[in-house]
Structure 1
Amino acid sequence: MRTVIVVGAGIGGVTAAVALEQCGWQVTVLERAPELGEVGAGLSIWPGAAAVLAELGVEGVIDAARAGGSAGMRRWDGRRIVDAAGLGVEMPVMIHRAELHRLIAGRLGPAVAIRTGTTVTGVRQDETGVVVTASRLVVGDQEYRAELVVAADGIRSVVRGLLYPRYGGPRYSGYTAYRGIAEVETLDQGGETWGRGQRFGFAKLIDGRYYWYATANREAGGEGDDVRERFAGWHHPIPALIAGSSAVLRNDIYDLPTPLVPFVQGRVVLLGDAAHAMTPNMGRGACSAIEDAGALARVLRAGKDLAAYDAERRPATSKLVKRSRQIGVLGQLDGKLACTVRDAVLGLGGKVAGLLAARRRVEQSRV
């Protein structure tokens, strides 16, 4: 049986482990955290990733998810900028990150060995395979050998740094994100609200709670602030959502600069945020990692060269990285005039898109 080491057991890592095991590989997963699991709040599952999970036999995703809200975009005072109801746009389903991780990990079989509390410190390749050096609690340094290594160790990937030491690494977006899960009662279907240098979005989860996220322009590494004060004057139910959250996560937002490094070097493959970390503005980060795993499995199953994986995934994810950063720049504008113009242009664009969508529906009804 062929052997592979997966570095990192986040959503991308466990998906890769499931996919590679189903391709007939013996998989060893090296995870730095002391136990398997995920932290965070909600995330979007788009159709492409849902299709990969279905192919892998991951069950219960749709049962644990809820269709994303389609309320569109508003100003901080609640005035509608874009009404998404009539646009006919493709919408994701929303699921709690920890629940998605649990469902995927549930497909791990007997050919997968998990090594938690393991920090990778070195990678070297030779004619016969790849050797990964890692430090384990109590045990100390150990070496693991395999025919292939899949690096799914996140935006600050140790493996990527070893392969491409001249690559600049993560860059700060200029804003911080706040996330929470709220237990509140509201009839609002969710959506996103844009202000000056700040944004707020929310959607309902299957269990009735609400996942919310917010962004604010600020320096990286700044001291904690009160998100309640930042959004105190915003429209209902934003203050209630924040107040109804038992915990608020805060993270400075980084992405990887383009051009992205090659996703393949010899017998080592980059996957997920290790390859193409993007800002969360399009909700595509976790889905892209899942799609990476699906693409890698197809390449290996077909007996193709690993370069085929890079040729498929790097152009596609490079576009998402660029587009997501552009949306963030637009959404985080803080000048009064710039925001007024932005909102007007988006409103006009939404009306035009709505008219075109209505026209398409009429034409399709005549077929």
Structure 2
Amino acid sequence: MIDYNSLVNSNVKRIKPSGIRKFFDIANEMDDVISLSVGEPDFHTPWHIREEGIHTLEKGRTRYTPNRGFLKLREEISNYLKRHYGVWYEPDAEVLVTVGGSEAIDLCVRSLVNPGDEVLIPEPSFVCYVPITEMAGGVPVIIETKPENGFRLTAKELEEKITEKTKLLILPYPNNPTGAVMRREDLEAVAGVVERHNLMVLSDEIYSELTYGTAPHIAFSSITGMQERTVLVNGFSKSHSMTGWRLGYAAGPKEIIALMTKLHQFAIMSAPTTSQYAAIEALQNGDDDIEYMRSQYDMRRRLIVDGLNAMGLKCFEPEGAFYVFPSVKSTGLTSMEFSEKLIYSKRVAVVPGDAFGACGEGFVRISYSYSIKHITEALERMEAFLREL
């Protein structure tokens, strides 16, 4: 009998499975479940984008692409970032097309972090940052963001965590799971700390197009002095409802993008060809699709926030992404207990807040990337659940 424990990578072995997938898997094994657990748009990829993908398959355009992605796609990414956020990247050297935003995050961390380097990670936040840092040999340093600050990272909180070993700040805004957004004044304050301590920044802006209200999303690299210090990560999953197409990108200093490309060409080679053709169409003609989906999410956002507050679950009003992060402390249950009792008794799936970091305990994440009908039924079931408690 082989002792695999003595053979496997100890860093990988220590990593815990994603807390998000646990409740998604439970929901898939049960009948009549309303799952509000996974952050996936319920909209189909817009038809003109799908049609372009189909057309390229019909024409047999299925060969490898350049490692960095089609130049035409990189040009359109640069045009898009300039048009929407006022920041320009050289398509030939400063843009890399990846297999989803997740690959871009992994490549960035591995290109920047040496063993023992500290990586600052505001939490609650997406589940991949800590394990990716650990697999690169880095040391995650958690910065706990607070509801009273709108779950924003403050310059003071950042300053307090910096040591001589700090190398990288991960800036995950708009935020998953809280829906928090950093406004220009917040980013400028953070930028001052970053420059003072000579840090690099990984700005995960995958939800950039899902920002609500009158103030637009501000790309961190558009802040004075930050473009040379920032790797901007984005993609097509959330903005264009293209989750299964698995396409993202990184934009940043050419020296860093070159290193990321080196890792990418050995591990992946190139992103999916059909997806790249579809993404060109999305960037050229998809702005109206984004506006439509954002308006629908905004309507759902207001419905679910009002519903949760009305039933006694205090809920911070999210300004971005498509999640709410209500407190369940008033029930006397832990996040895990609340989530398990809710799914087994009322067939509603949510995600315990501590899946996004220890400071998420006492909260749950609920996605509103679902139809009004599903959200309304889920709220009714949750209200009945609370009454029975």
Shared topology, TM-score over 0.5? no
Q: Which has the higher strand share?
A: 1
Q: Which has the higher helix share?
A: 2
Give the alignment's TM-score, normalised by structure 1.
0.24
